[in-house]
Amino acid sequence: MNPFRFENPAALYYGSGQIEAHLADEVLKYGKNVLLVYGGGSIKRFGLYEKVTGILRGAGCNVFELSGIEPNPRLSSVYKGI
């Protein structure tokens, strides 16, 4: 095997109220344009869509969405996001 380096930093927040407390700060580290990618409609049925988009827009983010993404997305779906 050839030598390589893999680095995967991640911040995980657990518990009630964590989305409201941390989402905007975490996203704004990378800019104000957000592509929200999701599959079916469960994100909307459970109210998560409204919560997340409200927080992001309240923080001054431009939210773009790409819905209907299948598990293990095809390259054509990735190009739609680009």
The reply to whether the predicted model has a pTM over 0.75 is: yes
Decide if 67 is inside a domain. yes
The pLDDT score that the predictor gives to residue 26 is: 95
Contacts of 43 (CB under 8 A, 6+ apart): 49
* Residue 74 is assigned to a structural domain of this protein: yes
> Does residue 25 lie in a domain region?
no
User: What is the sign, positive or negative, of the torsion defined by CA atoms of 18, 71, 46, 43?
Assistant: positive
C-alpha 6/C-alpha 9 separation (Å) is: 10
In a domain, 36, yes or no: yes
Kindly report, residue by residue over 25-48, the tens digit of the pLDDT.
Answer: 999 999 999 999 999 889 999 999
Domain housing 68: 31-81
**Number of residues written out for the chain:** 82
Asked if residue 61 is part of any domain, the answer here is yes
> Do the domain assignments include residue 45?
yes
d(CA 27, CA 20): 12
Number of domains in the chain: 1
Is 11 domain-assigned? no
